[in-house]
Amino acid sequence: MSGAPNPVLFIGGMCSLPLGTMERQLGNMAILNPMVELLKETLPGARIRTSLQLSEAWCARNGVESLKIRELYEPTLRSGVLAVFDWARSALWRTARRLGLRADFLIRGPKMDALREADLYLDFSGDTFGFMADARHLLKHTFDLMTAYNLGTPIYMIAQSPGPFPTAYRRFLARRVFRRVALVAARENEAYRGLREFMGPAFPVVKTACTAFLLRPASADQVDAAIRAENFARFESPLIGLNFTGFNLVKSMAGGGKYREEWPEEALQPMLETARFLLDELKANVVLIPHVYRVNERGEFIKGPDTKVLEQFKRVLDPGGRQYGDRVMLFEGMHEVDVVKGVIGRLDLFISGRLHAGVAGLSQAVPTVMIAYGPKHRGFAAHVGQESRVAECLQGRVESDELIAVIRRAWRDRARISAEIAAKLPETRRKARQNLMFVKALVEARRAHGGTLPPAVIAALLESHGEPQD
């Protein structure tokens, strides 16, 4: 791209949370932080713009422009109507261009300008059109993506877990969108196979791994400082971490959602039984580790849903600390994602109900048991040979007997498991970096072909990178 203007990349997606709140979701930041870092390495000088609502401080540190255009990120009735309107006028503009007519008046405005200026739209939605997708977000996101397509901006679905597509509504929208994307990077084998089955063997999809495997933990000094700030008296072996959230509890008791302030004690029983096993049989010290916070009006971290449920859990498990005392600890301060990852790296074993908290363990060769609330957990664990360390709660609740059995085996074999993970991590990290390799390849291919990316160009690109299509 010598002599050409620096590329412009637009990062958007269904996970565009309300203004300034992206950083409360440590899982999202575990993906985004290394992604942006590698984008800047892969395409030096690139302008990175996003609809993800990040703080001004984060954007300044990372050289990213967060667009304050409400209809890009707020899933309201108004933003949904505007998304449909934008799609309609972009479709009219595209039709007019095909007829040789000038109709640029149809696509004036900051949103349209941002999309048209981009060399590539990076869709950062994760569970695209899958079982976790809220219908309101899904419909709006569909129209946003089709608008980008109409404006001629190629769409690269990066680090995705597409599918499964359990309803006719989701299957219809998925087909509408996937027919218009340039490339999908599926971050686990099941998603890759499922998408090729859903869209056909020639569909442009590649197998990668999540960029969260590339997140660097905070320095040892920073992690030590966080542990001291938490005033942990027994942060020493044997040390087992535990994370869970509303996704892992009984659906019928969820009060209409996963962010409940107070849970019925019955819903906590499987996790209570599990914790007592850790404390009584394994004689471990247990640290409870949240992975989602909230952000107040001033942009400051405050306690979120994970902390709330873990606070209640600690009270119920050991009222007044009379039985276990300081052997049960809650990591309750508000910490950046790399600090939390560094803390997880100090554990002898980690049990995680949050997917990317689990990745924080796996990516540091910490023996990790996943509590799966969806199909992607097993695929993530498979990257490092840990499929057998996944306990299912796909029906809304993990059974304590199953979870304890998985934990017991993992604890017994923890030294061997750590070595197994460490041996597989280099290849997993290579796959994670491929997400960014394809960004560069797509931008260069588009510029080499006059601003277009025909299917034949994509097929040739995939074949040249060792990804032949059937």
What's the rounded mean pLDDT across residues 320-337? 94
- For residue 259, pLDDT over 90 is answered with no
What's the rounded mean pLDDT across residues 447-470? 83
pLDDT level of residue 254 (50, 70, 90 thresholds): very low
- pLDDT score at 252: 42
Please give the full DSSP string across 392-445, using - where no structure is assigned.
E-TTS---HHHHHHHHHHHHHTHHHHHHHHHHHHHHHHHHHHHHHHHHHHHHHH
Q: Of 300-309, 362-371, 377-386, 456-465, give the lowest mean pLDDT range.
A: 300-309
Please give the full DSSP string across 165-226, using - where no structure is assigned.
--SHHHHHHHHHHHTT-SEEEESSHHHHHHHHHHH-TTS-EEE---GGGGPPPPPHHHHHHH
pLDDT tens by residue, 142-160: 999 999 999 999 999 999 9
**Third-level CATH fold of 8-207:** Rossmann fold (3.40.50)
- For residue 273, pLDDT over 50 is answered with yes
pLDDT tens by residue, 100-128: 999 999 999 988 999 999 999 999 888 77
Chain-centroid distance of CA 199 in Å reads 23
- For residue 363, pLDDT over 70 is answered with yes
Q: Which residues contact 62 (CB under 8 A, 6 or more apart)?
A: 33, 36, 37
Look-up: residue for tokens 């960004």? 439
pLDDT level of residue 135 (50, 70, 90 thresholds): confident
What's the rounded mean pLDDT across residues 322-345? 95
- For residue 253, pLDDT over 50 is answered with no
| Residue 233, number of CB atoms within 10 A of its CB | 11
pLDDT level of residue 73 (50, 70, 90 thresholds): low
Q: Output the six-digit token pair for 77.
A: 């009735």
Please give the full DSSP string across 338-404, using - where no structure is assigned.
HHHHHHHTT-SEEEESSHHHHHHHHTTT--EEEEESSTHHHHHHHTTT-GGGEEE-TTS---HHHHH
- pLDDT score at 395: 53
What's the rounded mean pLDDT across residues 450-468? 85
What's the rounded mean pLDDT across residues 189-210? 94
What's the rounded mean pLDDT across residues 15-31? 75
pLDDT level of residue 13 (50, 70, 90 thresholds): confident
- pLDDT score at 470: 47
Q: Which 8-state DSSP code applies to residue 292? A: B
- pLDDT score at 313: 96
| Distance from C-alpha of 91 to C-alpha of 106, rounded to nearest angstrom | 10
Q: Output the six-digit token pair for 201.
A: 């063997």
Instruction: Please state whether 426 falls in left (phi above 0), alpha (psi between -120 and 50) or beta.
Output: alpha
Whole-Å CA distances, 401 to 283, 359, 407: 18, 24, 10
Whole-Å CA distances, 246 to 15, 200, 214: 18, 36, 27
pLDDT tens by residue, 213-227: 999 999 999 999 999
- pLDDT score at 249: 80
Chain-centroid distance of CA 294 in Å reads 17
Q: Output the six-digit token pair for 174.
A: 């998925």
Higher pLDDT, 462 or 361: 361
- pLDDT score at 375: 81
- pLDDT score at 141: 87
- For residue 3, pLDDT over 90 is answered with no
| CATH class held by domain 219-423 | alpha beta
For the chain, what is the mean pLDDT?
89
**Which is it for strands 349-352 and 205-207: parallel, antiparallel or unpaired?**
unpaired
| Distance from C-alpha of 22 to C-alpha of 12, rounded to nearest angstrom | 12
User: With contact defined as beta carbons under 8 Å apart, do 155 and 176 qualify?
Assistant: no
| Distance from C-alpha of 271 to C-alpha of 400, rounded to nearest angstrom | 7
CATH 3.40.50.2000 location in the chain:
219-423
Instruction: Name the CA dihedral angle for 240, 244, 250, 252, rounded to a multiple of 10 degrees.
Output: 170
Whole-Å CA distances, 453 to 12, 92, 261, 341, 448: 20, 21, 48, 38, 9
Q: Of 31-45, 197-211, 214-228, 370-384, give the lowest mean pLDDT range.
A: 370-384
